[in-house]
Amino acid sequence: MSHDWRVSNRVEQIQKSAIHEMTRLSKEVEDVAFLSWAKPTSGTPEHINEAAISAVKSGLVGGYSQNSGLLELREEIVRKLKRDNNIDADISQILVTVGAIEGLSAAVMALIDPGDEIILPSPTYSTHIRQVIIASGKPVLVPLIEEEGFILDIDGIKNAITPKTRAIMYCSPSNPTGTVFDEKQLRQLAKIALENKLMIITDEAYEYFVFDNQKHFSIASIPEMKNNVVSCYTFTKTYAMTGWRIGYLHAEEKLILQITKAHIPFAICAPVISQYAALAALKGSQDCVKKFREHYLLTRNLMCERLDRLNSIFEYQKPGGSYLMFPQILLEAGKDSTTFCKQLLKEAKVSTTPGIAFGFTGEGHLRLSFCVSEEEIAKAFDRMDIYFKNL
Ligand SMILES: Cc1ncc(COP(=O)(O)O)c(C=O)c1O
């Protein structure tokens, strides 16, 4: 049927999400072993649910909150940033957002004009690429150094800077590679930002899921960077609160006022019920976070052991954080990761995400999530063992 609307160039450029496509295809497969989503499979801890219910019953959630979020929540966030991120913040520097995603989008909207460039060390979370495109910016993908554990290519980033570059945007721990960028590299990145008058936009969604001897470092903890960073955080992963849609960002006060101007047309404020749930999450026991981390360490180790047995098919960098990993496919057929993953789903009933979803630098890889049960990993790898043996 004909129609009179014309889609904007901004939206036209956005490619269909390979993650959603794999989810859709996976639904057609009975008893699928599902390693496609970066979504915690555990439920939200009970004390958080209870706090939300109690806020509803007390009549606290029917109206909007301040655009920047409930004062008590922002006060608690300030304490958390000091305690866990070594960031000295003030409540005027906090904006509560609809998940990290809305915060990141608002920050990008506030910081770039059409045609401006944002450097994305990549492979990276595909939504970041889309956030730049929807703001009519140009994502500039600079490959991570895979052989050294998907670390930042500091020289590559320097060389990618042009007069149009406005910011560098990264997630650490990383989706999809599981890398935790170390303090030394992040200090080098900070230096580049200061020398070139660039902003750094961070996505620290997986900040608490760090293993072995790795340490999560927040670049905003460097005092000289106080006017050059927007740091984005979320409750989604830390407290298994995907559906609550609640996160926050930190930046200097004047910039927060500008980002809030971008936040209002999309959200007015973050869902108030979720703000009360988030308050309970921060104020309550943190044992649940420890439990999730211990589980992901266990499932990471299990996934690595199982991948070791398939070492003629996959080569991987052991993830130091998040609950994701990004093996390279050694087979010729893996050069087209979309076809490879679709075939794996159809023939072996294992759902994964094609690496191309995370930028061209991700081609030839697939993303595996270990935020699932040990049984799910065993099921997926038992099937892959048979499938690849019979190839
Ligand atoms: C790196 C990263 N950032 C942000 C998100 C989503 O965060 P939120 O639910 O807080 O919007 C995800 C979800 O997969 C993610 O992997």
pLDDT digits (tens, 9 = 90+) for 295-326: 999 999 999 999 999 999 999 999 999 999 99
Ligand 1 atom nearest to 242, measured from its CA: 9
CA angle 34, 305, 206 (to 5 degrees): 60
For residue 111, name the pLDDT band (cuts at 50, 70, 90).
Answer: very high
Rounded mean pLDDT, 92-104: 98
Alpha carbon 313 to chain centroid distance? Answer: 27
Q: Please give the structure tokens belonging to residue 274.
A: 């979720």
Q: How many CB atoms lie within 10 A of CB 264?
A: 12
In whole angstroms, give the CA distance from residue 344 to residue 262: 42
Ligand 1 atom nearest to 39, measured from its CA: 14
Q: Which of 232, 159, 151, 150 is nearest to 199 (CA)?
A: 232
Residue 37 pLDDT: 84
Residue 127 pLDDT: 95
What letter would DSSP give residue 63? S
236 CA distance to ligand 1 middle (Å): 7
Q: Quick check: 1 pLDDT over 80?
A: no
Which residues make Cβ contacts (< 8 Å) with residue 18, sequence separation at least 6? 126, 338, 353, 354, 356, 357
pLDDT digits (tens, 9 = 90+) for 347-360: 999 999 999 999 99
Ligand 1 atom nearest to 245, measured from its CA: 9
Residue 38 pLDDT: 81
For residue 386, name the pLDDT band (cuts at 50, 70, 90).
Answer: very high
Among protein residues, the one whose CA lies closest to atom 1 of ligand 1: 175
Ligand 1 atom nearest to 101, measured from its CA: 11
If one residue of 23, 44, 105, 127 were mutated to test the ligand 1 pocket, choosing by the most ligand atoms within 8 A of its CB, it would be: 127
Ligand 1 atom nearest to 206, measured from its CA: 1
101 CA distance to ligand 1 middle (Å): 6
| Cβ(365)–Cβ(327) below 8 Å | yes
Alpha carbon 79 to chain centroid distance? Answer: 23
Residue 294 pLDDT: 96
Rounded mean pLDDT, 95-121: 98
Which range, of 8-12, 37-41, 183-187, averages the lowest pLDDT? 37-41
Q: How many CB atoms lie within 10 A of CB 365?
A: 29
For residue 22, name the pLDDT band (cuts at 50, 70, 90).
Answer: confident
Residue 202 pLDDT: 98
Among protein residues, the one whose CA lies closest to atom 12 of ligand 1: 205
66 CA distance to ligand 1 middle (Å): 24
In whole angstroms, give the CA distance from residue 127 to residue 324: 16
Residues with CB under 6 A from ligand 1: 38, 99-101, 125, 171, 175, 203, 205, 234, 236, 242, 247
Q: Where are the alpha helices (DSSP H) in 13-45?
A: 18-27
Among protein residues, the one whose CA lies closest to atom 7 of ligand 1: 100
| Cβ(207)–Cβ(174) below 8 Å | no
5 CA distance to ligand 1 middle (Å): 31
If one residue of 35, 44, 203 were mutated to test the ligand 1 pocket, choosing by the most ligand atoms within 8 A of its CB, it would be: 203
Residue 176 pLDDT: 97
Residue 15 pLDDT: 84
Q: Quick check: 214 pLDDT over 80?
A: yes
- Average pLDDT over all residues of the chain: 96
379 CA distance to ligand 1 middle (Å): 26
What's the chain's length in residues? Answer: 391
Which range, of 16-30, 179-193, 216-230, averages the lowest pLDDT? 16-30
pLDDT digits (tens, 9 = 90+) for 225-255: 999 999 999 999 999 999 999 999 999 999 9
Ligand 1 atom nearest to 174, measured from its CA: 1
| Cβ(346)–Cβ(357) below 8 Å | no
Residue 149 pLDDT: 96
